[in-house]
Structure 1
Amino acid sequence: MTGVRNTIRGDGLAAAAVLLASCGSRDYPGASLDTLPANAVGAVSLGPHGLEGSDVFDQNRSLVFLFDAAGDLVGRIEGDDIHGNQVLASPARLVTVSARAVTTLTATSRAEYPIDESAVTAAANDPVTGATTLWFNSGRSSTFVTVAGDGTTTTGSVPSLVDAAAQCGDHATARDVGPADADGRYRYAASELDLLGGSR
């Protein structure tokens, strides 16, 4: 998958939206994927509409639909609902997230790294190496899950709130939102992570 492209046919997306909007329907279009299809060139992620749509019965889903160059659906990835769902692509892999797992698809495998989160606050990847970092708000700190260029998955945290991120190879940079000062202004700082050696 060479990256997300705007080649998705409007009629296919509209049909998927109608199916998803049907009350009580669990018959989502497309086959559940265990590997990344060679013909996938685009992806669309769908998740909860907003916090008011929180699902106390754990029935809502986060979904990622993959499409080929003609805009036809080639499959889906499904998981428990998470706010701010992301899908990040590189030539050799696709990484997405649900409330219970960070999922990595390659041409030969599907790997799931277990998490327990409710919202993604930032995400970034290096489309050349495939290295990806996803950030989650954990109250007064932010946790992250990284998938390094070699596919190794690690996790950690920083003692602040992350609201933006960038990725260059196995190095991640995040913008931290610090506590407000006496005048009510927020302090912004940068955290740099070496995914092979922890935070700096």
Structure 2
Amino acid sequence: MTRLRILLADDHPVVLAGIRALVEGEPDMQVVAAAVNGAEAIRLADLQCPDVAVLDMSMPDVNGAEVADRIGRRCQQCRIVMLTVHDDRAYVRRLLEVGVAGYVLKRSAPAELVRAIRTAAGGGLYLDPAIAALAVGRAAPRSLPSAAAEVADLTERETAVLRLTAAGHGNKAIALALGIAVKTVEAHKANGMDRLGFHSRVELVRYAASRGWLEPL
């Protein structure tokens, strides 16, 4: 069995040890690196290019959102899962904007983290049930087009690009998956967002959740 290669980062040694024990207890996962701060997490991600990075949000040197953004830019096949104590809307929205694929609260059951890792690795987006409503809660009716409008306005390729974008994939990864150029991905994304009247990834994620797009392809 090919195991998922996991990078962990948390500045609390006891927490880090607990997460490591949890992950290594899963037969389909292995911890390839563990960091105690954000800078070390970025360095180790460059060296290991893991399948999934599980990051603490509140690290003292480089915060989790910045670490997630840097790792996502430098190792685009790596999917990011944030493990945090923060459950307010601002944190959720910020992390969705930088493209994280999972958001799990530290107070949740350990099974939530394992589920988030597998969902992220499979191409989906996992939000802890305790905070999911903050990101994909009911939107104003005029901000979400009807299913009929979606079918009429979005091409099949625009739909594919937007679905992959909502799930946290970068332009290069989408281009590789669909067999098209990065510039073509950018054009489809811009056209699709324009047709739907969206201006941010948060709006797209909310819509994707309402359409059932966030399950792995």
Per the normalisation by structure 2, the TM-score is 0.27
Q: Which has the higher contact order (CA 8 A, sep 6+)?
A: 2
Per the normalisation by structure 1, the TM-score is 0.29
Give the structure with the higher percent helix. 2
Give the structure with the higher percent strand. 1
